[in-house]
Chain A
Amino acid sequence: MRIESSDQFKAYHAEARTRDEGLTRKILVCCGTGCLATGAKEVAEAFVHEIEDRKLDVEVGLGVKSTGCHGFCERGPLVAFLPEGLLYTKVKAKKVPEIIEKTIIGRELIPGLLYKNPVNKERIAAYDEIPFYKNQVRVAMRNIGRIDPTDLMDAVAHDAYAGLAKALFEMTPDEVLDEVETSGQRGRGGAGFNTARKWRSCKSAPGDRRFVLCNGDEGDPGAFKDRSIMEGDPHSVLEGMIIGAYALGAHEGYIYVRDEYPLAVVNLQLAIIEARKVGLLGENIMGSGFDFDIQISRGGGAFVCGESSALMRSLAGMTGEPRAKYVHSTAKGLFDLPTVLNNVETWAGIGAIVHHGGAWFAAMGTDKSKGTKAFSLVGKVKNTGLIELPMGTTLRHIIYDIGGGVLKDRPFKAVQTGGPSGGCIPEELLDLPVDYEKLTEAGSMMGSGGMIVMDDRTCMVDVARYFIAFLTEESCGKCTPCREGLKQMLGLYDRLIEGRGTDGDIEKIEALAAGMQLGSLCELGKSAPNPVLSTLKYFRSEYEAHIKDHACPAGICREITAFEIMPDCDGCHACPKVCPTDAIAGTKKELHVIDHEACISCGACLDVCPTDSIRTFPKIELAAEEVV
């Protein structure tokens, strides 16, 4: 059936809700990429089989849904139960029969599957009581984890396309623009440009043909919120784009998805096909007379294609080389026509903004950064995963209250935000409220929302080098400062981490950084120095140790770090098992010894030692010992 009027949409929505309510009990199995990696698919299948075998779907009105990412990837595979609001963590397929017996039929909890708070060791049953979820406010990710992303009706039952219906039947395009302006929403891809302002500047560009694009090239390593949205609630992206197209008078749209996200491509494509069938996309949407269709374009594997002008070149079948944006793409973008490009999370928020009103969105967040933001909290933190919070939440709250603190309770060193264009924020700034301005002031930036927690076993020189090495591979090569500058910068860093640094290297790095910031053509080159400058700002002493003492204080840089087992070793024999070069000798219950010739300083032994008996020290001390 095709929806051809406002009333027909309402009827479809009602039908969807009835169907959803008919499932008196639901089992939601997280099938985001993270949980899939730990066996979620088998768990979902086990549930389906058990329920069919026992005929529980018919008798009890029990349904199983494979949903998108619940966000708490650390504890996957995750299974949630409604209406109880119960969450089971680390569920294995072989536990499923027991879960059906005890929890579904017997209505009993299985304590071993409940979330255990790492701080006080308490077990928590209710989804909404778990600190990770309790503090979240989900707007862009509102439906992820609740719906089956491949089922349009399920999405509609949860208000998908309600915003679109309102826009098409109750608002003019200009009223939609006004609503988005009221919300104060800023782009969620990293630059944080005001959404309404971008739309208005495109709308005023001359010409009949314009494009609405979605940037799904989430290239920041450490960020995966866009992936989760595209995989877990593709209709939220489609709805946002259709509303935007309506406001702008555009009839053609593209979603550019990076090559590394195959499931996102599949789920988006399915969503497009379903939406078209029902008349929510394509010609005469919902019978309103408005035409708009979307195509998917897959990236070829290039971080630079997250840059808007490079993305448009890639869409046009060319290499991803950016151009100077003295003429904005809102005037001349894809195929030299007026184009609006927004991030996945930005589009995902639009439907909710139009449905609930711009004022609702603007009531959350800070003065200049309205609404909520998705973050991927990863690295050396206990509760890694995906969260959405109001802007203005402090870093401390995110890392400690939601994240549960640093992994293994090691000392906190820094949190890196903003990907390769961002910077490292040290402990003294942990009470910083997270918003665009505050992060930039601290020498970092919001970027895509990746937050990488680092402990004392992280070398900040190595971190800066990591980002430079990453960008060296990703530079398109068009402009001199970026192409040549990154290569030279990497060479300078290689010297530092290998203990060959000399006096004046830091100054050389700073001068090159300035040249790259001023001279590069696009933001990749311009912001490449950010991790360099921020680590120099807050961790200069580490750089100096590398140069003056040929030492890596964190014990990470292999060429200059040696390992030693201390006398308090209890001979548990865990370390020889993980040593890749068999450099550790020792019998059980006896002190173990590392052979420095064979040791490659990889640190695997230190990571597994249960008594913390392995220490690192500068390799040059070995040579000094020999001399003595």
Chain B
Amino acid sequence: MAETPCVDLSKTEEILGSYPHEEPSLIQVLQDVHRAYNYLPCDVLVRVAEVLEVPLAKVFSVSTFYKAFSLEPQGDTIIKVCMGTACHIRGAGQLVEELERKLGIGADETTEDLRFTVKTVNCVGACAMAPVMLVGEKYWGSAKPARMEKYLAAGGNDEN
């Protein structure tokens, strides 16, 4: 725990203030924390355990069980390649490989400059547009490896 940088806990207090202080709130709290910090800092987990009155071991257990959570800082833009069945048979694997060529990182890895994290994710439910990838919040349907530069350049905002 000594390794990770100090984080601003005021955001955590705000989040904790909006939920009942009990175990059933744990996953919702962690979702909000993850959104606020872009990962789950361990100082925050300790505070969450304290306030929700859940043993720290269980908070850690839940944090590592669910795929939505990362305990390491992630990139500013998260790229998610859908690995659903329809996407698989329409070439999702090729997208992941192209990302590896372009960014030098594989699934669940983050670029050195913390710009991008690549994740392979479960079916996002846009199967008719297979293969699908998300750059930030922007969905790209019928994605092609040859257009990867365009997808990355467009950034993560839905406004593009």
CB-based contact A454/B89 at 8 Å: yes
Contact of A222 with B by CB under 8 A: yes
Chain B at the A interface: SS class: helix
Contact of B121 with A by CB under 8 A: yes
Q: How far is the CB of A415 from chain B (nearest CB, A)?
A: 11
CB-based contact A300/B69 at 8 Å: yes
CB-based contact B84/A379 at 8 Å: no
CB-based contact B94/A300 at 8 Å: no
CB-based contact B67/A300 at 8 Å: yes
CB-based contact A300/B123 at 8 Å: no
Contact of B26 with A by CB under 8 A: yes
CB-based contact B121/A260 at 8 Å: yes
Q: How far is the CB of A311 from chain B (nearest CB, A)?
A: 12
CA distance A223 to B87 in the complex (A): 12
Interface size classification for chain B: 35 or more
CB-based contact A259/B89 at 8 Å: no
Which of A32-40, A201-209, A590-598 lies on the face that meets chain B? A32-40
Whether A318 touches B128, Cβ cut-off 8 Å, given contacts A298-B31, A300-B27, A466-B88, is no
Contact of A180 with B by CB under 8 A: no
CB-based contact B128/A317 at 8 Å: no
CA distance A527 to B90 in the complex (A): 25
Interface residues of B in 129-160 (CB under 8 A from A): 129-130, 132, 139-141, 144-146, 158
Partner of A300, one of B31, B93, B125: B31
Which of A115-123, A186-194, A213-221 lies on the face that meets chain B? A213-221
Whether A452 touches B141, Cβ cut-off 8 Å, given contacts A220-B123, A300-B30, is no
- B88: nearest chain-A partner, CB-CB: A466
Q: How far is the CB of A75 from chain B (nearest CB, A)?
A: 9
Which of B4-12, B57-65, B109-117 lies on the face that meets chain A? B57-65
CA distance A379 to B85 in the complex (A): 8
CB-based contact A218/B66 at 8 Å: no
Contact of B76 with A by CB under 8 A: no
CB-based contact B86/A222 at 8 Å: yes
CB-based contact B27/A380 at 8 Å: no
Could you say which residues of chain A place their CB within 8 Å of the CB of B123?
Answer: 219-224, 260
- B64: nearest chain-A partner, CB-CB: A319
Whether A379 touches B86, Cβ cut-off 8 Å, given contacts A317-B25, A604-B145, is yes
Partner of B127, one of A222, A320, A454, A580: A222
Could you say which residues of chain A place their CB within 8 Å of the CB of B28?
Answer: 297-298
Whether A319 touches B98, Cβ cut-off 8 Å, given contacts A37-B129, A259-B68, A260-B125, is no
Interface string of A456-471 (1 = CB under 8 A from B): 0010000100110010
Partner of B86, one of A227, A299, A378, A470: A378
Could you say which residues of chain B place their CB within 8 Å of the CB of A463?
Answer: 89
Interface string of A291-333 (1 = CB under 8 A from B): 0000001111111000000000011111110000000000000
Contact of B83 with A by CB under 8 A: yes
How many contacts between A and B, using CB within 8 angstroms?
A: 169
CB-based contact A37/B139 at 8 Å: yes
Q: How far is the CB of A235 from chain B (nearest CB, A)?
A: 20
Could you say which residues of chain A place their CB within 8 Å of the CB of B85?
Answer: 221-222, 378-379, 416, 419, 450, 452, 466-467
CB-based contact A379/B89 at 8 Å: yes
Could you say which residues of chain A place their CB within 8 Å of the CB of B97?
Answer: 580, 602
Interface residues of A in 574-614 (CB under 8 A from B): 577-578, 580, 602, 604, 607
- B22: nearest chain-A partner, CB-CB: A317
CA distance A310 to B140 in the complex (A): 32
CB-based contact B101/A580 at 8 Å: yes
Whether A320 touches B146, Cβ cut-off 8 Å, given contacts A380-B89, A602-B97, is no
Whether A580 touches B128, Cβ cut-off 8 Å, given contacts A219-B123, A319-B62, A466-B88, is no
CA distance A298 to B93 in the complex (A): 28
CA distance A577 to B145 in the complex (A): 11
CA distance A593 to B130 in the complex (A): 30
Contact of A421 with B by CB under 8 A: no
CA distance A386 to B62 in the complex (A): 34
Could you say which residues of chain B place their CB within 8 Å of the CB of A376?
Answer: 127-128
- B32: nearest chain-A partner, CB-CB: A298
CA distance A37 to B158 in the complex (A): 10
Could you say which residues of chain B place their CB within 8 Å of the CB of A222?
Answer: 84-86, 123, 127
Could you say which residues of chain B place their CB within 8 Å of the CB of A221?
Answer: 83-88, 122-123, 127
Contact of A564 with B by CB under 8 A: no
Whether A260 touches B124, Cβ cut-off 8 Å, given contacts A298-B31, A302-B65, is yes
CB-based contact B139/A33 at 8 Å: yes
Contact of A41 with B by CB under 8 A: yes
Could you say which residues of chain A place their CB within 8 Å of the CB of B52?
Answer: 317
Contact of B54 with A by CB under 8 A: yes
Could you say which residues of chain A place their CB within 8 Å of the CB of B158?
Answer: 41
Could you say which residues of chain B place their CB within 8 Å of the CB of A73?
Answer: 126-129
CA distance A383 to B81 in the complex (A): 23
CA distance A453 to B126 in the complex (A): 15
Interface residues of A in 216-254 (CB under 8 A from B): 218-224, 226-228
CA distance A386 to B127 in the complex (A): 10
CB-based contact A317/B125 at 8 Å: no
30 contacts between A and B (CB under 8 A): A34-B129, A38-B129, A41-B158, A73-B128, A76-B129, A220-B123, A221-B127, A222-B84, A223-B123, A224-B123, A224-B128, A227-B125, A299-B68, A300-B62, A300-B69, A316-B24, A317-B22, A317-B23, A317-B52, A318-B26, A376-B128, A379-B90, A463-B89, A466-B85, A578-B144, A578-B145, A580-B94, A580-B98, A602-B94, A602-B97
The 10 closest A-B pairs by CB, nearest first: A300-B66, A73-B128, A301-B67, A221-B84, A224-B125, A317-B26, A37-B139, A221-B123, A384-B128, A301-B68
